[in-house]
Amino acid sequence: MNLYFWIPVAILLILLIAAFYKKYKLLKNMEQTPNSAHLLELTDATFKKTIQKGVTLVDFWAPWCMPCKIQGPIVNEVAELMHDKATITKLNIDIHKRTASELGIRSIPTIIIFKNGKPFTKLVGAKTKNVLTKALNDALKD
């Protein structure tokens, strides 16, 4: 094999390594993002009491879930934006399995918006800030 074959192969390999490193750094930084001061962490014991009054967004997540790591900072932004209108929460389904089981959570991230204790909207998969704020505003209107 000649040099003209190996140069493009080396360039391609360098580009692939750089792309993987960039994604690794992005995910590593997401793990270190602190929760908003307006974001409540729920437990099986606090879940029902928290959702009883008003509009509550609950992010069902797990630490090993890559889409959840993407969704987490978005939920933090929504908590900063909407904390005066709705309660923004998250529940780790690895630790608090009973609540997730009772609600039939099969895929994560799942976000359920509750209105006065009853499910209003269920969103499965990572969603944008605009989708979440629109869903919350819809729940606040009714």
Q: Assess whether 87 and 137 both reside in one domain.
A: yes
Are 86 and 130 in the same domain? yes
96, 44 Cβ separation under 8 angstroms: yes
Q: What is the CATH number of the domain that holds 105?
A: 3.40.30.10
Q: What is the pLDDT of residues 82-136, one digit of tens each?
A: 989 999 999 999 999 999 999 999 999 999 999 999 999 999 999 999 999 999 9
Catalytic residue among 39, 51, 68, 79: 68
**Annotation marks residue 14 as catalytic:** no
Unique residue bearing structure tokens 């630790």: 95
pLDDT at 47: 95
**Same structural domain for residues 75 and 17?**
no
Alpha-carbon span 48 to 99, nearest angstrom = 9
- Mark whether 68 is an active-site residue: yes
Answer yes or no: do 41 and 27 share one domain: no
Separation CA 133–CA 91 (nearest Å): 19
Q: Write out the residue range of the structural domain in which residue 43 sits.
A: 36-141
Residues 46 and 19 in one domain: no
pTM: 0.77
Same domain, 60 and 10: no
What tens digit of pLDDT does each residue of 2-54 get? 778 888 888 999 998 988 887 777 666 655 556 778 899 999 999 999 999 99
Catalytic residue among 65, 86, 100, 139: 65
7 and 57 both lie in a single domain:
no
